[in-house]
Structure 1
Amino acid sequence: MKVGSKEVFKAGSALAGGVARMGETCGALTGAIMGVCSLVGREKLEDREQYGKAMEEAQKVYNLFREEIGQTLCEKIHQTRYGKVYHLANPEEREAFHRDGGHSRTGCPEVCGVAARIAGEVILDLPKKAPKKKPGKTSARKPKRKTKTRR
């Protein structure tokens, strides 16, 4: 999957509401960590070194998010932002959440924006990968251009 692809967007659909509307870890935080780890995560289960690097970057995202938002659990973020907890799996409470401004500028969209900004900052701070050299080649020479001679 490519970053920004429809598949990535679809895969994150059920992160909302603290994972499937259950009020657990904020979906914006989870998505931010997934975005960062799509660049630094391991490709093979056995790759412990890359796993460690991914965990380090994920912890940066988590800690920065918690520092700025104050919480990482959806229900606790609701309590802080709205003064009450909405149980989003319940249709009536979900409707109340929307009616009470759950998707207003200072609600969940702002939390999502904070998570996205933090992910972007962490990504921009990632160490740059050195280009891989092909074995047996020491420098990249430009091929000589053939020139036509005029007679």
Structure 2
Amino acid sequence: MDRTAVALQVFDNKFNCAQAVFSAFAEDLGLDKETAYKVAGCFGGGMRCGEVCGAVSGALMALGCKYGQTLPGDTAAKELASKKAVEFIELFKARNGSILCKELLGYNLSLPEEMKILKDKNLFATVCPRVITDAVKIAGDVL
């Protein structure tokens, strides 16, 4: 199964968007799925306040696992990770217009009245799978 299908299946199983995206890369990055689910567990819904989309956060976690700095003073790794993050963000923004959950969904899920609208319009089932798909594909290309 390809990464996009894995991510969408994870999301369909009621994990959040960050968990879906990050776990799709986990095994290739030397992580087990359970660890990936836990690490990304608090990043869905733009960290529950509509800020940076969880799918974006999950993709950036994957890029960090691949390219992130692990040694003090390793500025080359730090610069490469930053370059990869900026590349991902620019590509994601070009495709979706924003990296913010509340802008992607059109409503702020941290506000109860707007959360109700999100649910009534079924936007988690229509918008989120699209941005998860984009995040996985773009991160795969950047990796």
Q: Does TM, scored on the shorter chain, surpass 0.5?
A: yes
The total of aligned residue pairs comes to 115
Paired with 2:32 and 2:119, the residues of 1 have a C-alpha distance of: 27
Is 1:98 the counterpart of 2:119? The answer is yes
Paired with 1:45 and 1:91, the residues of 2 have a C-alpha distance of: 44
C-alpha change, 1:91 and 1:7, in structure 2 (3 Å) is farther
Structure 1 residue 91: deviation in Å?
Answer: 4.5
Contact 2:104 2:127 in 1 (8 A): no
Q: Deviations over 1:30-52 (max 9, x none)?
A: 11111012111111232111100
Is 1:35 the counterpart of 2:55? The answer is no
Paired with 2:95 and 2:32, the residues of 1 have a C-alpha distance of: 25
Q: TM-score, normalised by structure 1?
A: 0.68
Q: Which has the larger radius of gyration?
A: 1
Counterpart mapping for 1:34-113 below 5 A: 34-79=61-106, 85=107, 87-91=108-112, 93-104=114-125, 106-113=126-133
Paired with 1:119 and 1:50, the residues of 2 have a C-alpha distance of: 18
Paired with 1:77 and 1:17, the residues of 2 have a C-alpha distance of: 11
Structure 1 residue 89: deviation in Å?
Answer: 2.8
Paired with 2:72 and 2:88, the residues of 1 have a C-alpha distance of: 22
Structure 1 gap ranges (5+): 80-84, 124-151
Is 1:9 the counterpart of 2:29? The answer is no
SS of corresponding position for 1:22: helix
Q: Which has the higher contact order (CA 8 A, sep 6+)?
A: 2
Paired with 1:122 and 1:4, the residues of 2 have a C-alpha distance of: 22
Amino acid at match of 1:78: L
